[in-house]
Structure 1
Amino acid sequence: MLPESSLLESRTMRESLSARTEVLDKVKVLEVLPDGLHVTTDGVADYFKVTRQAVENLVVRHREELESNGLHVLRGSDLREFETFNLNVSNGAPGSYPQRRRRLTLWPRRAVLNVAMLLRDSEVARRVRTYLLDAEETHRARERYGRERASEPWEWYEPGFDDLRPLLVRTHRMVSAINVELCAVRTDVRRLDERMDRFETRMDRLETRMTGVETRVDGLAAHIRRGGRR
């Protein structure tokens, strides 16, 4: 398997796996906001079981990378509209006068996965990385399998169908042999048709000659009968 350091140290590697957000829910359910798309900073901290400060420190160090994966901050009218449909406006103590947020950082799933590939001191993040690297290794193995069999018949079968491949190859060869035999049979039939045509032509000619002979015989018989009467 690829080493865990390949994710922690290589942004190129992280970018190549940034779309595999399904691994988040396979390790632990990610609680998203009512919009079904985003998580707050507190939600990210809760998912990875770290402090909010640890997440904010990560943003300071890797903001450009995280923003490339969708991290963004809402302010002003955009924030008020988002709060109306997705959040409680008040962030004060129970019973206190509602206080509006001045800004809100939103994390799409890609950005949360990005945190998993950067956060060193989190057991949940380690599990996500392990799952991610296992999935990548499986994907690469399948690609190698496909390249190795690209020149063989039936290469479109998945590895799980290996037990069928010998039978399919034999069937393919048998069908090819039958096609060759059918071509030979078609050639023989065509030749036989030609011979039958020639035979029918000869029979027509023979029938014509026989008709002529019969006519002559009838004429001769009539002549003999007339002569016998004289």
Structure 2
Amino acid sequence: MINESALLESRSLRHSVLGRTDVLDRVKALSLLPDGMHVTTAMVAAYFEVGLEAIKSLVKDHRAELEASGYRLLTGEELRSFKDLSGFQSRTGSLALFSRRAVLNIAMLLRDSNVARQVRVYLLDMEYLARTQPVENSTPTEVLSLDDRIDQRITHILGKTVVPMFNALIETSGEHRRELIALRAGVQRIERRLRHHHARLQRLEAPLEERPLAGVMAAMDAMNSRKFEEHIATLLNRDGCTDVVVQGGPGDRGIDVIALTADGRRLVAQCKRFAPYISITSSDVQKFVGSAKVLYSADVALFVATCPFTSDALSIATDSGITAVDRALLEKWSAGEPLKVLGH
């Protein structure tokens, strides 16, 4: 499995996963310019929640790589044409544009950004799932039930209409036979790629029990709330807790899992399966403090989330004796590293 440090250091590895630009929107919504294809340096900085200089510095150090990924610096007539076609207004004499591939490339280079790290983790999780699931041949029935993000009608039309049309033309054409055969081959390649992509999406979004769980955040992101609570209960059992009960649901008063640690301390946990770009706020933690400490008199209180915590939320958690298990710590815990608070 490709690891994060190798991704940061290896240009060839970064290039091998540049096609997975969909992970950008899975981590955080990426706003585009009116042309629907590009973003500016300021927009890239805002997405990764860093200063402009951090992005400019990366461009300076990795200019050739980023240009190969779609980075462009427009000036003169090219800039004027872009403004006319896109409707984008700018008074500067130059404009740096990043394609979605270039933004993903930045995510694989930018070290000091929590958002960039989330993109890398999600990217590696998705690649891991894709690499570890066997390739299956899709039947017509399977194809019709695949993810609606790909318009299945395109595949159907290519296979059932366009290719037979080329076959008929080839049979009756003499002068352009070679060109028609080449075009038919191109259409068939596109059809195969669409079918392969359909199958890949189906593997990635298969039921959880068919996926490797340990260390794979993408699998947890695919869980519903109940499955996530059960996953946390499994981790607690693994780390020596007893009397583990999942009680999340209506009337749980903010406590999803209760248990006893290996040394007999009362433990409660709240489990939040949120998108990676959402943060746990101070008010979320304050509500949990009341339930954990007042209603349950817990010795150990875990607030487990698939997303980050705000700095205020972390401060309140520390002051109140709450253990905040954010996305990064949850990943390590799921991969086998025990939580220190559960130890003797």
Q: TM-score, normalised by structure 2?
A: 0.39
Taking the TM superposition and a 5 Å limit, the aligned residue runs for 1:178-189 are: none
In structure 1, the partner of 2:87 is 86
5 Å-filtered alignment, 1:1-230, equals 2-84=2-84, 85-89=86-90, 100-142=91-133, 145-146=134-135
Is the 1:27–1:127 Cα contact (8 Å) retained in structure 2? Answer: yes
C-alpha separation in 1, matches of 2:135 and 2:40: 41
State the alpha-carbon separation in 1 of the partners of residues 6 and 54 from structure 2. Answer: 22
* Distance in 2 between residues matched to 1:86 and 1:123, nearest whole Å: 33
- 1: CA distance, partners of 2:2 / 2:81: 44
Identity across the alignment (%) = 51
Instruction: Flag the structure with more relative contact order, 1 or 2, with Cα contacts below 8 A and sequence separation at least 6.
Output: 1
Counterpart amino acid of residue 18 in structure 1: L
8 Å CA contact 1:66, 1:114 repeated in 2: yes
Runs of 4 or more above 4 Å deviation: 157-161
- Give the TM-score taking structure 1 as reference length: 0.57
Q: How many angstroms does 1:86 deviate by?
A: 2.9
Deviation at 1:81, TM superposition (A): 2.2
Q: For 2:29, give the aligned amino acid.
A: V
Distance in 2, Cα, partners of 1:22 & 1:117: 14
The CA distance in 2 between the partners of 1:101 and 1:107, in whole Å, is 17
Q: Could you tell me which runs of 5 or more consecutive residues in structure 1 were left unpaired when the two chains were aligned.
A: 90-99, 150-156, 162-230
- Which consecutive unaligned segments of at least 5 residues does structure 2 have? 138-198, 208-344
**Whole-Å separation in 2 of the counterparts to 1:86 and 1:53:** 26
| In structure 2, C-alpha distance between the alignment counterparts of 1:16 and 1:77, rounded to whole Å | 34
- Matched residue SS, 2:74: strand
Counting strand residues as a fraction of each chain, which structure ranks higher?
A: 2
Give RMSD over aligned pairs: 2.2
Conserved in 2, the CA contact under 8 Å of 1:33 and 1:86? no
- In structure 2, C-alpha distance between the alignment counterparts of 1:65 and 1:82, rounded to whole Å: 23
SS at match of 1:107: strand
8 Å CA contact retained: 1:66, 1:111: yes
Which has the larger Rg? 1
- Give CA-to-partner distance per residue, 1:131-163, whole Å, 9 cap, x none: 000011001102xx349x9xxxxxxx98769xx
Q: CA offset at residue 3 of structure 1?
A: 1.8
Cα distance in 2, alignment partners of residues 32 and 86 from structure 1? 13
